[in-house]
Amino acid sequence: MDQATVGTDTIERILHRYEPYLHDCRRYIGGRLRRDPAAAVLVRYFEQGKMLRALLVFLAASAIGSEPSKMLMVGAALELLHGASLIHDDIVDEADTRRGMPALHVQVGIGPALVLGDYLILRSFAVLREAETVYEPYAVLGALHTLNHYAQACCLGEVYELLPSSQSDPEAHYLSVVKGKSAAPFVAAATLPAILAMGTLGEIEALRAYGLNLGIAFQIQDDVLDLIGDASILGKPVGLSFVKGRPMLPLIYLEREGSAAARREYGRLQQLEEGRAELVRLLTAEGIWERVSTTRDKYVSAAQHALDCLSPSEGTDALRVFASYATTS
């Protein structure tokens, strides 16, 4: 099976089919930010993103037979939360660029950027509350509780990544961080449509498992791109996680499974400010990339298999394609 194809569907066709919803979502976000402080900067910031989480919202809605256009507020809420996390990440990482532009804290200062990130978090909940114009209030309340739960999980994942770990297993620590930091927003995007549309418990659980495994695979691929990616293509700096000493699966595998000589060389490279190119060559020579790909693909397959519990449809097929696309691009 081609990684971006299931049956006769392709990611290109899916993106074309759902582009009207993504366009409306961008306009929805822009319309609610235009009177806010630094509005011009914020609106431009959201115009540049891939909107993967909003797309997942619309795909999940289709998969359970719900109308994607009614999920506009959900997609906007997830993108606002994601935008806030990126603003805070860039401050913590001292990153200079994001989405091909100067990072928000570079444009407006660290203080204003920090507060604007906080504001976007609160704004996301207000936007989701607007779903009461379409869905039952108790369903919206359930969605708000769910979003709150996963937003907290995301923040805790970020905190655990920054603090020293007491776990003896580096991979277990890595996965516990990733399940919060990266997977929680994907779980929220996948499950909120089913909660609002009053889907069955089976549908919600299938979409939760899909989002969790997809989010883990997404972060593993992000680790790879942080080491071998092109900043001009990704629209953000690369190599920051390595420089900051953050847990990354390729480096965990290198320390655990690499040869003694490779581990010594890795220790030397950690002392250098510009050791990324040499590290990439070392990972290649030790066969670490193949090991990482196997783990990533395991989680992609788990995400796709979770969809077997849903009724076959164009929407579930699109989710299968999306899982491969989001974790390889």
Q: To the nearest whole percent, how much of the chain has pLDDT over 70? A: 98
Q: Look over the chain and give the mean of its residue pLDDT values, rounded to a whole number.
A: 93
Instruction: Supply the pLDDT for residue 4.
Output: 56
What does each C-alpha distance from 100 to 25, 76, 193, 220, 234 come to in angstroms? 21, 21, 31, 22, 8
* CA contacts within 13 A on the Cβ side of 226: 21
Per-residue pLDDT for 111 more than 90?
yes
Reported as a single tens digit per residue, the pLDDT across 265-279 is 998 888 776 778 899
Q: To the nearest whole percent, how much of the chain has pLDDT over 90? A: 78
pTM confidence score: 0.94
Secondary structure of residue 101 in the 3-state scheme? strand
Whole-angstrom distance, CA of residue 127 vs CA of residue 29: 9
Check residue 68 and report its DSSP letter: G
Closest Cα partner for 209 from 140, 295, 293, 309? 309
Terminal-to-terminal C-alpha distance of the chain? 17
Reported as a single tens digit per residue, the pLDDT across 169-219 is 999 999 999 999 999 999 999 999 999 999 999 999 999 999 999 999 999
Retrieve residue 195's tokens: 């909660």
Instruction: Supply the pLDDT for residue 1.
Output: 40
Whole-angstrom distance, CA of residue 23 vs CA of residue 20: 5
More confident residue, 270 or 7: 270
Q: What CATH superfamily is the domain 5-326? A: Farnesyl Diphosphate Synthase (1.10.600.10)
Residue 49, Ramachandran bin (φ over 0: left; ψ between -120 and 50: alpha; else beta): beta
Tracing tokens 């097929």 back to the chain, one arrives at: 317
Cα-only R_g, the chain: 20
Instruction: Supply the pLDDT for residue 6.
Output: 52
- Find out whether 196 and 131 touch, Cβ atoms under 8 Å: yes
Average pLDDT over residues 273-297: 92
Phi, psi of 66 (to 5 degrees): -100, 155
- The full set of domain ranges for the chain reads 5-326
For the chain, the 3-state helix, strand and coil shares in percent, each to the nearest 5, are 75, 0, 20
- Find out whether 210 and 23 touch, Cβ atoms under 8 Å: no
Closest Cα partner for 127 from 198, 14, 36? 36
Whole-angstrom distance, CA of residue 207 vs CA of residue 35: 36
